[in-house]
A = this chain, B = another copy of it.
Amino acid sequence: MSHFDIEISEVGPRDGLQSISTIMPTADKIAWINALAAAGIPEVEVGSFVPAKVLPQLADTAQLVEHAQQIKGLAIAVLVPNLRGAQNAVALKPTKMSIPFSCSETHSLRNVKRDHQQMLEEVRNIAALVKTLPKESRPKFEGGLATAFGCSLEGHVSEDKVVSLAVALMEAGCDEVGLSDTTGSGNPAQVKRLIKRVWEAIGKENLTGVHLHNTRGQGLANALAAIDTGITTIDSSMGGIGGCPAAPGASGNIVTEDLVFMLESMGLKTGVNFDKLFEARALLAKLLPNEALYGFTPLSGLPKNFQYAK
């Protein structure tokens, strides 16, 4: 943890852009990442080490990691789908490297053509790779438990299963796990319950972050539930980009701008400056002229006499 109360991990450049077909040029991504960092965002997920033919939008991830290394103090997160991706990632020394692991085996098979046992084997191989690295250049290796709050294919996902997969991921060598509401199905009661259950199983220090989607408008309420429980890292995306193509109009990730407003208003320091955050959003709007940007705080502005958390 940093010197902030809550750490915002901006996932727009990865999870946001991933669902947008028009490819953003690398120079534009760099300008956006610079603007995010200038606004005080402490961590940015810059991309994913997937084959370019699978996700052409993220083909420049290596260049973005290299660029982001030049930004002082910025934590760099990347996604890796498998060992091959992890090999490419670790060469560039990101701060955090996450592998998505779908709690719904149906979703896992559909998405990465691997069942749980095959995925755990992949995690073990990546963990072994990480252990060969000198300590100072090891990324934190996170197992991201996707569809932890429900799956659009399987429907209900049992909490017992999520807990046992969290244990399995830690045993396979992850440094920590994260909980992802991939389908935006979660509710605040479930968020609180599942975090506590995972903590009981693997320890509080091994689950510090959640990744929430706003598919049904529950994003900030779920983030509040997570924070009330004691979670300290929240993923979000500028303008809430990252909507599911299968649900037109349904926004994607929770909106960074509104999340920061909630946290700072509540007295929780994020390190983010609103003027610069709104500048970054204006830049993004210019770079993505055909995409809807969500979030209300940028439209209404801050309340009169607004005060940042002290």
Contact = CB atoms under 8 A, between A and B. Distances in A.
A251 B299 CA distance: 10
Interface stretch (A44-52, A90-98, A147-155): A147-155
A151 B305 CA distance: 10
A156 B305 contact: yes
A250 B217 contact: no
Contacts of A248: 299
Contact of A297 (B216, B258, B297): B216
B152 A303 contact: yes
B152 A304 contact: yes
A185 interface: yes
A56 interface: no
- Give the number of copies in the complex: 2
A266 B187 CA distance: 6
SS class, residues of chain A in contact with chain B: loop
Given A155-B305, A265-B190, A295 B217 contact: yes
Given A255-B217, A267-B189, A300 B224 contact: no
A185 B305 CA distance: 11
A221 to B, nearest CB: 4
Interface in A245-303: 247-251, 255, 257-258, 261-262, 265-267, 295-297, 299-301, 303
A188 interface: yes
Interface in A199-225: 214-218, 220-221, 223-225
